[in-house]
Structure 1
Amino acid sequence: MSEIELYDYDLPRELIAQQPMATRSDARLMLVDRSTGAIDHRYVRDLPELLDPADVLVMNNSAVVPARLIGYRTKTKGRWQGLFLKADESTGIWEVLTKTRGTLTPGESITIQDRNGVEGMHLIVVARTDDGHLLVTPTMPSKFDDTDSFQAAADWLERFGRIPIPPYIRNGHMVDADVENYQTVFADPRGSVAAPTAGLHFTDKLLQEIRAKETATAEVTLHVGIGTFRPIATESLSEHQMHTEWGQVDAATCKTINERRQNGGRCVCVGTTSVRVLESAAANNAGDLKPWTGETDIFIKPPHQFAVVDALMTNFHLPRSSLLVLVSALATRELAMAAYKAAVAEEYRFYSYGDAMLIV
């Protein structure tokens, strides 16, 4: 058996959640105790009593941008769709992932339709990257008189893009409810092409209840990239090339976490993205948590020694994924896979709109 096969499991398709709970905090929460190996079954709304007053709950505040683009090749009328990946602010050039058939040549135009099917923005092809991604520049036809209102890439996407729902949810088809459902209540800086999904379980009411118990809350930023959905294709973990994402941890968050941990509290991360950015910040400062901004390609796998993170709330992840490997680094592979086996047996709801687990 290869190393990656150790992180595989069978999941009945009907357990993949197609929409969130009507009330976010009503999702189930599997409680996994690393010290005893015990697995218990609770609800996200129970968090105020599961967290200690001395703890700090750390959340990724990155907001999802409507990164999915749909339209047609202006000249041939052939259908086209793509996913915005990033923009170079100095040149205005976008990098887009697309699988459309045919050869797109430099100078060619793509007409983009908004979520109501109305034509608007054009993408002008510049070139292709070495890995096959399309480089384009956005422009507005002269018949539109509000071109000046589109400054940042996120401005264009808010008007013409669609929520990038993962392919395992309704085959990636967005519905109007996703605009709110696929965004955390604390989302602020725009930059993710996928939601930091553990954060989707929180409501303003639940956060107020947590803070009322004196548990601190803090925020980090990690803009989630498309690589988060990519399964590990190599036989061994050491051969896997991790994707790169931009993150930031500010001084206030570092101060809160360090003070809470020094006084016996735990750093409880909401989501694997929060783990990655905190461990990246520590790794860039000789193991000490200090303010940090930059790109990270950290691959957290057993036997990673966690410098900052003491506990993790996370959704259930895809087989053979770097996220499942990260969970195994904290819980041990044996306990993580036992928890997944229990989740299938108990018919937990899986993936982005599904239930969660809390590893303590």
Structure 2
Amino acid sequence: MVSEKGCAIGIIRGMKTDTFDFYLPDDLIAQFPLANRTDSRMLYVGGTAQHIKDATFRDLPDYMRRGDLLVLNNTRVIKARLSGFKPTGGKVEIMVERLLDVHRAQALIRASHAPAVGSTLSLSDGITAVVEARQQDIYTLRFLHPLPLLELLDRYGRVPLPPYIERTVTNSDESRYQTIFAQESGAVAAPTAGLHFDQAMLDTLRAMGVAIAYITLHVGAGTFQPVRAENIEDHVMHAERYSIPPDTIEAIRACKAGGGRVLAVGTTCLRALEACARAHEGQLIAGQGETNLFITPGYRFQVVDRLLTNFHLPRSTLLMLVSAFAGMDAIQRAYQHAVAARYRFFSYGDAMLLEIQS
């Protein structure tokens, strides 16, 4: 189960956040995707001693075998950024965080002074939005337009590139900051481990006898927030919605029964599967849920055997998650190696393939 602060049972108490800090040169933060999705490098961390090996993403089939299962997140990134003005004329930047219904959303707002509840914001092409409520930094907005909000964002919004990509959004980002299997609209950040796959790679894996299944977890903007508490147990984890279909539950059961390995593509897949298992006393049950599960060293994994992921931000919950999965020493060595070998970091960066620590 998950505690009120979103900390998983098994957390090592008193662990300091600065344990998960590291030096990263700015020029290693990937600002653009590579020419082809599968061009990325891949750092393998596994084996009994969690040894480190340089590889490429195109080598992934060499690390798979018949009977394994690949679990992908089919969430689709929405054009969540909008610009506008307050009634006073001051500029606002809106980042839609979660769709509530066809005309309402929760959002983050950047402005010189916070807009008041009840005020009306003027956006693109005559669109207006009323501030209905505010809870801490999250605003509830009602958009006054006949178009459904999702269609409105698709027409007038901008791709919500992460804050560490310091450039203007280009037309190519609309396709490259989206996986090729994206279907279910609702994320404000891409499940970036999935960005490495093209159709040829998926076809190759299927031909080998690797099964492929999908979950949906709508990634929220909280994924980019560093942990600011001195002790990680004091961090309040953001919540995200997930859905796991019956076919995926059955695929996991078949994989486990046949001696295969479940490879979660991205921390989002891992988090959805582990949250589902915790919510049902170790069982996987198809359906929808919401999780604030905070996976840190000391956590006992119940579903996932292997993890494909990108390199994560210092002091982030995702760095803590991969440290729990592969082991703190292994991840510290892997990140030191990645910096020295000049791997590309974060959303448009390179990949890691991790085996669970034994």
Question: Relative to structure 1, is the Cα distance of residues 121 and 356 closer, same or farther in structure 2, using a 3 angstrom cutoff?
Answer: same
Counterpart of 1:166 in structure 2 is: 162
Q: Name the structure 2 match of 1:314.
A: 309
Does the residue aligned with 2:127 lie in a helix, a strand or coil? strand
Check conservation: 1:108, 1:124, Cα contact below 8 A: yes
Alignment partner, residue 47 of structure 1: 60
Percentage identity across paired residues of the two chains: 40
Aligned partner letter, 2:242: G
Using a 3 Å threshold, how does the CA distance of structure 1 residues 103 and 246 change in structure 2: closer, same or farther? Answer: closer
Q: Is 1:127 matched up with 2:133? A: yes
| Other-structure match for 2:210 | 215
Contiguous gaps of at least 5 residues in structure 1:
114-118, 141-146
RMSD across aligned positions (CA): 1.6
2:349 aligns with 354
Residue 18 in 1 paired to residue 24 in 2? no
What is the distance in 1 between the residues matched to 2:61 and 2:129? 48
Work out the CA distance in 1 between the residues paired with 2:156 and 2:88. 21
**Other-structure match for 1:87:** 99
Superimposed CA distance per residue, residues 16-57 of structure 1 (whole angstroms, 9 cap, x where no aligned partner): 000111110110000111422211111111112211111000
Verify: 1:77 aligned to 2:89, yes or no. Answer: yes
Unaligned stretches of 5+ in structure 2? 1-13
Q: How does 1:148-187 map to 2 (within 5 A)?
A: 150-151=147-148, 153-171=149-167, 173-187=168-182
SS across alignment from 2:331: helix
Distance 1:233 1:34 in 2: 33
Q: 1:246 offset after TM fit, Å?
A: 0.3
Question: Residue 103 of structure 1: CA displacement?
Answer: 4.5
Q: Does 1:5 align with 2:18?
A: yes
**Does 2:143 align with 1:138?**
yes
CA shift digits 1:40-96 (9 cap, x unpaired) = 1111111122111110000111110111111223x4432211101123328x43222
Deviations 1:112-139 (A, max 9, x none): 23xxxxx24211222322x132222111
Question: Are the equivalent residues in 2 in contact too, given 1:112–1:160 (CA < 8 A)?
Answer: no
Q: Are 2:42 and 1:29 aligned? A: yes
CA offset at residue 200 of structure 1? Answer: 0.5
User: Is 1:108 paired with 2:116?
Assistant: no
The alignment partner of 2:82 has SS state of strand
Does structure 2 conserve the Cα–Cα contact (< 8 Å) formed by 1:194 and 1:225? yes
For the pair 1:287 / 2:287, whether they are aligned, the reply is: no
Task: Note closer, same or farther for the CA distance 1:10–1:285 as it changes in structure 2 (3 Å cut).
Answer: same
Paired residues, number: 342
Q: What residue in structure 2 maps to residue 278 of structure 1?
A: 273
**Partner residue of 2:71 out of 53, 58, 66:** 58
For 1:58 and 1:341, the matched residues in 2 are separated by: 28
Deviation at 1:2, TM superposition (A): 6.2
CA distance in 2, matches of 1:18, 1:105: 35
